Structure 1
Amino acid sequence: MPKAKVPPPQGGSCAGVPMPERAKRGTDIMSRPAGPPSSSSVSSSLLSFASSSPSPSPSSSSSSSRRKSAASSRARAPRLATWATAVLLAVGATCLTGCPMPESRTGLTYAANAERDYNKALEEFKAHNWLQAQALFREVKRKYAYSRYAPLAELRIADADFEQDKLGEAIRGYKQFVHDHRSLNAEVAYARSRIAEAQYNQISDSVLLPTSEERDQVATLESFRELKSYLQDYPDAKESAHICDLLEKVTIKLVGHELSVARFYLAKNNFDATIGRVQYALRNFTADLTCRHTPSAPLAAGEPSALRTEFGLLPDALLLLGETYLKMHRWDDARTAFNTLVKRYPESALVFQANNFLEFMKARGV
Structure 2
Amino acid sequence: MNEPRFNPFALVRALVRPLDPVLVLVLATLLGYAHLLMRSASPERVDTQLVHFAVALAGMWLLAWLRPKRLLALAVPLYALGVILLVAVELFGEVSKGAQRWLDLGVTRIQPSELMKIAMPLVLAWFFQQREGETRAIDFVLAGVLLALPVGLIVVQPDLGTSLLVAASGLYVIFFAGLSWKLIIPLLVAGVIGLGSIVAFGDTLCQPEVDWQVLHEYQKQRVCTLLDPTRDPLGKGFHIIQSTIAIGSGGITGKGWMDGTQTHLAFLPERHTDFIFAVLAEEFGLLGTLVLLATYAVLLLRGFAIAAAAPTHASRLLAGAITLIFFTYAFVNMGMVSGILPVVGVPLPFISYGGTALVTLCLGIGILMSIQRSRFADKG
TM-score, normalised via structure 2 length: 0.26
TM-score, normalised via structure 1 length: 0.27
- Relative contact order higher in (CA < 8 Å, ≥ 6 apart): 2
